[in-house]
Amino acid sequence: GAVVSQHPSRVICKSGTSVKIECRSLDFQATTMFWYRQFPKQSLMLMATSNEGSKATYEQGVEKDKFLINHASLTLSTLTVTSAHPEDSSFYICSASPRVGGRVMNTEAFFGQGTRLTVV
């Protein structure tokens, strides 16, 4: 099946620093990828939709200047958490679905392994 790889799996950073998370689709092209955040015992919340070659679409309440998304190629999207604070500590996870023709397949979404971010 399709594989999405996310790196790093775990990161600890100091407050005020920036952290970059990579999401790669390994065996299919993904013009659209999704970034989620999950706090303990809560559901995955969509943060933003990453679009190859154009600006990301952010969900309401998500600061675009704080969570920078770059989707420079058909297989790579990055999320940069800028000026991280302890409240940004969370599980960040990306996903993508294969596209056939002009439409995303109505099939499962493939998730990266997730990144556990701890800001100290």
Q: Which of 75, 97, 117, 119 binds other proteins (CB under 8 A)?
A: 97
Q: Which of 41, 60, 65, 86 binds other proteins (CB under 8 A)?
A: 41
Separation of alpha carbons 95 and 33, rounded Å: 6
Residue 108 beta carbon to other proteins: minimum distance, rounded to whole angstroms: 4
Separation of alpha carbons 53 and 89, rounded Å: 29
Separation of alpha carbons 18 and 13, rounded Å: 8
Is 82 or 116 the residue whose CB approaches other proteins more closely? 116
C-alpha separations of 40 from 10, 19, 44, 64, 82 in Å: 15, 20, 10, 23, 22
Q: Which of 11, 13, 20, 32 binds other proteins (CB under 8 A)?
A: 32
Q: Site map for other proteins, 44-63, x if CB under 8 A?
A: xxx--x-x------------
Please enumerate in sequence order all residues whose Cβ is within 8 A of that of 73, keeping only pairs 6 or more positions apart, or say none.
52
User: Six-digit token pair at 120?
Assistant: 């100290």
Is 78 or 90 the residue whose CB approaches other proteins more closely? 90
Residues near other proteins (CB under 8 A): 31-32, 34, 36, 41-46, 49, 51, 91, 93, 95, 97, 99, 102-104, 106, 108-109, 111-114, 116
